[in-house]
Structure 1
Amino acid sequence: MDNYRFLLSGGGTGGHIYPAIAIAEELKRRYPGAEILFVGARGRMEMEKVPQAGYPIRGLWISGLVRKLTWKNLLFPIKVLVSLMQAWKIIRSFKPHLVVGTGGFASGPTLRMASAMGIPYVLQEQNSYAGITNKWLAGKARRIFVAYDGMERFFPARALVFTGNPVRERLARELPPRSQSLTHFGLQPGRTTLLVLGGSLGARRINQLVDAHLPLFKKMGLQVLWQCGKGYYETYQDRQAEGVAVRAFISEMDAAYASADMIISRAGAGSVSELCLIGKPVLFIPSPNVAEDHQTKNAQAMVSAGAALMMKESELDTGFEGRFRAWVEDPQGMLRMGARMQELGRPAATRHIGAEIQKIVEADAA
């Protein structure tokens, strides 16, 4: 049987969206005749990024609670009820054989309704500290795919499968030519390139850091490919100049990674997993504004393995320039760091998840 129907839900940030897209690509590879549909939250970035990847998506009227007293929170129970009804209509119409949830606002009502309708579902948790939605849904999940040890403190052990995080298929293959990639971004092939990634939504503190240190980077002979985030692009777009390419968002991440000699990045689980595959030296600046400070834990795991550097936001004002200079001026150390990073990658994660899903749907169909 090749004509399975798969429903995938996850979004809000690239950390939820791109694992879902990677899983969809793997399912399409295994079952070319499969129908695939995504469910997201209206107004969130998945409504743009999923169609760009070639998949249809339906939007639910759902959002999270705002972490302060506001009238908007009064709408939350109504949004949940409406989203459950919307999810029910989507599932009744699409009739999926299996539902995949990767976290984010929309996956809660989608998978809760799938459970109520007797549709099997699986979860994929990217982080070392499980998200609220996945913890809420874990009880009836057929499988829960994780990337860190010790996740039984959040999830039932019977369902856990250690796979690593799924990454976009083209990143697991050979990267495009460096010179071609640099030309794509308007940069010079002969120069050392720093890639700056603040996560899919951008990072205010990293943007401030890069903006303040553009003269330093120029003095050191570096050119910069800077993903500042859609919300910050208006502020920083005029920094675009020779040797500085500013982008709101980079869709061609394989070309961005091919361009880079070194990388400054947040430490979300998806980013860490991708960077391990790329095997280039990384300075992590974890976001302090996440549950259980999990980005710091992600970055510290890489530092402990000799695979990366880390600086906390609180250290940047006084310590960045000296630390950055010492890093760049030790090319052998950077090479060792990149090689160690690559040793920690799990290029087969997406295929492992696909194989587990295949077991479930084919056993149910037998």
Structure 2
Amino acid sequence: MTTTELAPFTRRPRLSIESLIAKLRAQDSRKQDMVVPAHKMRVTPEGLLELDEPRITSNGVSDTSHFQLTGTFDSGIAGKLKVPANYLARMREYNQLPLLADNVNTWLAMEPNRPFLVRTFQGDDDQPGVGRALLSDSYGIRDNLPLLMAVLEGIADRGAEVEITGELTDRRMIVKIVAPRVTTEATDLLRFYRSPFTGRTGADNPVVAAGVVLTNSELGFGASTITPQFTVQICTNGLTVTKDAMRTIHNGTKLEHGVIQYSEETTKRELATATSRARDAVRTFLNVDYMVRKLNEIAGKAHVDVIDPEATIQHVGKIVGYTGEQQNRILAHFIRGADTTAGGVLHAVTSAAQTLVDADAAYELERTGLRALEVAASYQR
């Protein structure tokens, strides 16, 4: 077991909505975004990002700002400057920060007037801040806190009773919204399944609740999405219907150079759009008719018997893109789940996802559950 995983049958804890909002507010108080041309930025031999953008400190006005670089900023360097990500990682691994600085500064000098959006957290007084992301100056900024509040407003407008938990990673916000009173029974899908967490069986309790997953990245790691997800009551497995997701990509107009100040008009327009999309999502996805239709489609593919579980999961892993560790974990959940059908592979993927400490990895794994079901079912034929 690696340090990124919990015990095979222990769920990863999530934040309450109150704790999530508190974290987002604390982050918002430190944010500063700037559009900076390449000739005004450089990496120091100590590995700090230096910007020729003045800021006010306790000692007066500083002509430059310094920021510690993060893995998410390195991803921006790799994407925007075409420096191989594994090369950046290798230089950091061997503490070759002067070499890293030479590489990055060389490529910045190749296009001195190219503008970038630099997203940061400001440091205290004279302390370095945090460089969060290097993005295009046409990146459409859609921040987590206002988006979340707009979505919650849209849900409240529809009068839906929901339970909300969340996760906040370096890359994205992930919010799970479950409507505990919008339920149906998925008897065909769950009749052979046993929760690896509690031992409870789907035959005794086949109830599934409607819900959605809200995701957003402030740093370029994916669109804003509202995706339908059905939560199995006995195990909290999430069956994510990715093909029906509502997506809003982060495209925008060219941003002005310098520190960005967001107008009240722009903010209101963004929030109105997000609120409207949330209302649409609630109307569409928190609906029993929609649930029944989708669950019947899933059950129709799930009944296929899995003859060789290990070979099947290896095949699924190759097609879908699971690591060896993920395949072993999914197999353990498949065995504990006791459902020897392609539906059992779906359940194993979605329960295994709950046991990963890395919430980004868990999110990516969970959303592949229905794809894994399709691949497992076709492999038996």
TM-score, length of structure 2 as denominator length: 0.25
If asked which structure has higher relative contact order (CA below 8 Å, sep 6+), I would say 2
Question: Higher helix fraction: Structure 1 or Structure 2?
Answer: 1
Flag the structure with larger Rg: 2
